[in-house]
Amino acid sequence: MTVEDWDRSGIRAANVCVACHAPLIAGAVTISAIVIRDERFLREDRCAACSSTVPVDSVSQWTSRRPADAKGPRRLDFDSLLELFVRMEGRSDDASLRLRWIVGLLLMRRRLLSVTGRRVEDGREILVLKPRGEEKTYDVKDPGLDDDAAESLRDDLSRIFDLDRRTV
């Protein structure tokens, strides 16, 4: 999957709360979380009433308003992706590092992150990335994905973001 594919993808949102199964309607406050289960990423959406049931080990969570259900391909929600990127700071497990790298590349392409430095440690490139309009920077290490790992990550991202191959 290329960054261009991401640009054409829609962000997947479940139609019901994973905790209470209440429908998530347009305009409703929704709490989304990325969790790792069996070394795979899953996305969970909850209604506001169930916000306290987000697993404590979630990689990231963010709150948004459910968009009106537009016809046609939905746009990737870049604000949510940036939130995901920032909130993954400090996580050092391999799965999180891989996800963060891919998300970082995507946000760089969209100029929501800029590169303020780069260096090599232990043979791996580290990019210093800064969100637009912020002063804080984040070190993001190239996870050195091999083909199998990259394929696995594509599967995860397809499920999380409901990749839509239709061209916009």
Rule CB under 5 A: say whether 19 interacts with Zn ion: yes
Tokens 């899953």 correspond to what residue?
Answer: 42
Q: Which is nearer to Zn ion, 16 or 70 (CB)?
A: 16
Q: Which stretch binds Zn ion (CB under 5 A): 45-53, 82-90, 105-113, 141-149?
A: 45-53
What span, in angstroms and rounded, lies between the C-alpha atoms of 98 and 96?
A: 5
Nearest to 140 by CA among 150, 128, 123, 124: 128
Q: Which is nearer to Zn ion, 47 or 59 (CB)?
A: 47
Rule CB under 5 A: say whether 18 interacts with Zn ion: no
Q: Which is nearer to Zn ion, 34 or 47 (CB)?
A: 47
Among 3, 20, 115, 168, binds Zn ion (CB under 5 A): 20
**Amino acid type, 95:** A
Minimum CB–partner distance for residue 13 and Zn ion (Å): 14
**Amino acid type, 153:** L
Q: Which is nearer to Zn ion, 17 or 157 (CB)?
A: 17
What span, in angstroms and rounded, lies between the C-alpha atoms of 145 and 149?
A: 6
Minimum CB–partner distance for residue 28 and Zn ion (Å): 10
Cross-strand pairs, 129: 115, 138
Among 11, 34, 47, 88, binds Zn ion (CB under 5 A): 47
User: Dihedral, CA atoms, 73, 17, 51, 68, nearest 10 degrees?
Assistant: 30
Minimum CB–partner distance for residue 22 and Zn ion (Å): 5
Sign (positive or negative) of CA dihedral 18, 23, 24, 28? negative
Q: Which is nearer to Zn ion, 1 or 19 (CB)?
A: 19
Give how far the C-alpha of residue 109 lies from the chain's centroid of Cα atoms, to the nearest Å: 15
Rule CB under 5 A: say whether 13 interacts with Zn ion: no
Residues at the contact surface with Zn ion, assessed by CB under 5 A: 17, 19-20, 22, 47, 50
